[in-house]
């Protein structure tokens, strides 16, 4: 049986590993959000509302800073895809997040939200998955697939990862459907967005 001390150490270790692929996304006067290094070569996922119409700068938690190019934006699911302008040495050294299949999630699983709430870099909040499914958007007559958790979110968490108890990313945190609970775009939806943006063949994704 795992003791409470062992569990605490395990959670701290996996958060430390997950933070290696967590970035700060800065967009001028609009403040800072978060992002995740999703693919090798400096491919970063964040929220649409974090970058909006700007050309953001991205920094790692160690302070390394990069200019970016916006590859794709999808307002209806609040996602944006960035490519970091990297040197040859950086292309192979940047840590890429481990991505889990969100279609395998169950209500009640542990979920941890990573980000930079109120400017506190690499902060973590923990909860459980409270519901899975789709929710209507307030500003458009359509629904979006979401993961709901009771992990607390605040300004600065937007675009950061929601991870499971193994440290794998199961969603991207967002605030497009309200502030009452933590909400994330499921990782399988993010993967579909990324693959389409990169021009790759995409298999049908279950809703």
Catalytic positions: 49, 78, 158
Residue 22's DSSP bridge partners are 36
CA dihedral in degrees (189, 194, 199, 203; nearest 10)? -30
């Amino acid at each position: 049986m795992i003791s409470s001390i062992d569990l605490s150490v395990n959670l701290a270790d996996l958060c430390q590993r997950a933070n290696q692929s967590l970035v700060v996304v800065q967009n001028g006067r609009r403040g800072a959000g978060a992002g995740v290094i999703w693919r090798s070569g400096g491919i970063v996922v964040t929220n649409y509302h974090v970058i909006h119409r700007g050309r953001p700068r991205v920094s790692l938690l160690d302070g390394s800073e990069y200019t970016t190019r916006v590859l794709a934006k999808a307002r209806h699911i609040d996602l944006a895809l960035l490519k970091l302008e990297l040197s040859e040495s950086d292309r192979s050294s940047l840590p890429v997040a481990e991505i889990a299949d969100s279609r395998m999630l169950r209500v009640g699983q542990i979920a941890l939200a990573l980000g930079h709430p109120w400017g506190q870099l690499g902060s973590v909040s923990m909860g459980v998955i409270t519901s899975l499914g789709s929710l209507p958007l307030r500003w458009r007559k359509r629904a979006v697939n979401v993961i709901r958790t009771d992990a607390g979110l605040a300004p600065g968490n937007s675009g950061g990862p929601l991870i499971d108890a193994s440290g794998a990313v199961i969603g991207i945190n967002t605030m497009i459907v309200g502030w009452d609970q933590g909400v994330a775009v499921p990782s399988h939806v993010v993967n579909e967005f990324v693959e389409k943006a990169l021009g790759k063949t995409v298999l049908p994704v279950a809703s």
